[in-house]
């Protein structure tokens, strides 16, 4: 079968690899329908040291996310998976038997898959599970540290929308930050109550007032750089900033030391596959079960851009569309 693989010099190429024929215990075989190209798929190619310790694939097949239909299950796999549409995130459970996901068929542990409800289209979840699990794991971590309200800096991003959906389910106060009034209106149209536009003239004043009112001491940051410099002085006492994404580019974070002392600020990184939720198999199973109940929420759907065949991988990786829309790889295109 055709698959998109990574070479020794960190390039992608289409190869013919053996089609999987055997499903090991605890694993599922999936006919891949669509694979979204996420930001992480590009970032990890450019930063090979980050991939050390991550779940890899046989034949060096690339890609972290996909969706498809289970065509076979191994022993010790819940029968509920048989014949069902699933969303996939390869990094959830390491296995030496993993095959996929940028391929025609994939093999991976069933704990790297989420069963989709019959009422949704499988194509709409080709890049969703990574964001859903990131959101779930982050919310669990912030709650475990005693935070009761949060700020999402990239409120209109896929991860931002997923966090919003989970926070709404758990009745957690949330402030979403967006760059434009258009994005703000779109989020308000989805029922989000507290949306602030970072480019508005009174953004800092509104943030200071609202963050104190809602006690939003947890910050999930997908932007970094200059935006953190702007919001840090206006956060409540004992706030923690989790750095996850870098949409703001290579801009430096520059926060005066006195602010760390006066505000009792904490800054640290966040990684879903290093979170307590993902590292503990029992918590991971509980997370997947919980997400199955809410995954039909439109906020979890992958924003689909242009569709590409495997032979068009170079064009797909270079594809840029409206913010948030992803290139989609199709084995049958």
pLDDT tens digits along 97-142: 999 899 999 999 999 999 999 999 999 999 999 999 999 999 999 9
Concatenating the DSSP letter of every residue in 217-263 gives -EEEESS-THHHHHHGGGSPTT-EEEE---TTTTPPP---HHHHHHH
Question: Is the predicted pLDDT of residue 249 greater than 60, yes or no?
Answer: no
CA distance 11 to 328: 19
H or E element that contains 261: helix 257-263
* Helix, strand, coil percentages for the chain (3-state, nearest 5): 40, 25, 40
- In the block, tokens 């890899």 appear at 56
Distance separating alpha carbons of residues 127 and 78, to the nearest angstrom:
23
How would residue 3 be classed by pLDDT, with cut points 50, 70 and 90? very high
Q: What is the pLDDT of residue 84?
A: 98
Residue 54 has pLDDT above 70, yes or no: no
pLDDT value for 254: 80
175-222 pLDDT per residue, tens: 999 999 999 999 999 899 999 999 999 999 999 999 999 999 999 998
CA pair distance 73, 83, nearest whole angstrom: 9
| H-run or E-run covering 45 | helix 39-46
What residues have CB less than 8 Å from 106, skipping those under 6 apart? 20, 29, 30, 32, 66, 68, 88, 98, 99, 100
Of 63, 73, 59, give the one whose Cα is nearest residue 101: 63
Whether the pLDDT of residue 56 is over 70: the answer is: yes
The number of beta carbons lying within 10 Å of the beta carbon of residue 186 is: 15
0.85 exceeded by the pTM?
yes
Beta strand pairing status for 113-115 and 27-36? Answer: unpaired
Q: Is the per-residue pLDDT at 251 higher than 80?
A: no
pLDDT in the model for residue 276: 95
% of the chain beyond a pLDDT of 70: 95
Task: Tell me the angle at which helices 129-144 and 281-292 cross, rounded to the nearest 10 degrees.
Answer: 120
Structure-token pair, residue 204? 């800092």
* Among the ranges given (13-22, 173-182, 314-323), the one the predictor scored with the smallest mean pLDDT: 314-323
């Amino acid at each position: 079968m055709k698959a998109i693989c990574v070479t020794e010099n960190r390039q992608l190429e289409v190869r013919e690899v053996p089609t999987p024929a055997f499903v090991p215990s605890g694993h599922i075989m999936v006919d891949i329908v669509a694979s979204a190209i996420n930001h992480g798929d590009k970032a990890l190619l450019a930063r090979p040291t980050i991939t050390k310790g991550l779940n890899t694939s046989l034949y060096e097949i690339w890609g972290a996310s996909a969706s498809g239909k289970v065509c076979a299950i191994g022993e010790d796999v819940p029968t509920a998976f048989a014949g069902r549409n699933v969303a996939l995130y390869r990094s959830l459970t390491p296995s030496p038997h993993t095959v996929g996901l940028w391929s025609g068929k994939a093999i991976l542990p069933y704990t790297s898959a989420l069963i989709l409800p019959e009422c949704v289209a499988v194509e709409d979840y080709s890049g969703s599970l990574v964001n859903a699990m990131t959101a779930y794991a982050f919310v669990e971590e912030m709650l475990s540290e005693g935070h009761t309200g949060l700020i999402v800096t990239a409120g209109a991003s896929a991860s931002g929308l997923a966090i919003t959906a989970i926070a709404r389910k758990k009745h957690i106060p949330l402030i979403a930050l967006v760059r434009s009034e258009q994005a703000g209106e779109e989020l308000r149209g989805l029922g989000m109550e507290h949306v602030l536009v970072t480019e508005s003239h009174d953004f800092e004043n509104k943030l200071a007032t609202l963050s104190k009112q809602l006690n939003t001491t947890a910050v999930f940051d997908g932007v970094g750089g200059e935006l953190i410099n702007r919001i840090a002085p206006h956060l409540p006492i004992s706030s923690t900033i989790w750095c996850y994404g870098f949409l703001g580019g290579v801009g430096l974070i520059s926060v005066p030391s006195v602010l760390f002392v006066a505000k009792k600020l904490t800054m640290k990184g966040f990684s879903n596959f290093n979170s307590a939720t993902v590292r503990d198999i029992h918590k991971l199973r509980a997370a997947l079960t919980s997400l199955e109940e809410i995954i039909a929420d439109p906020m979890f759907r992958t924003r689909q851009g242009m569709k590409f065949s495997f032979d068009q991988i170079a064009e797909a990786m270079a594809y840029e569309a409206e913010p948030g829309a992803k290139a989609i790889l199709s084995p049958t295109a």
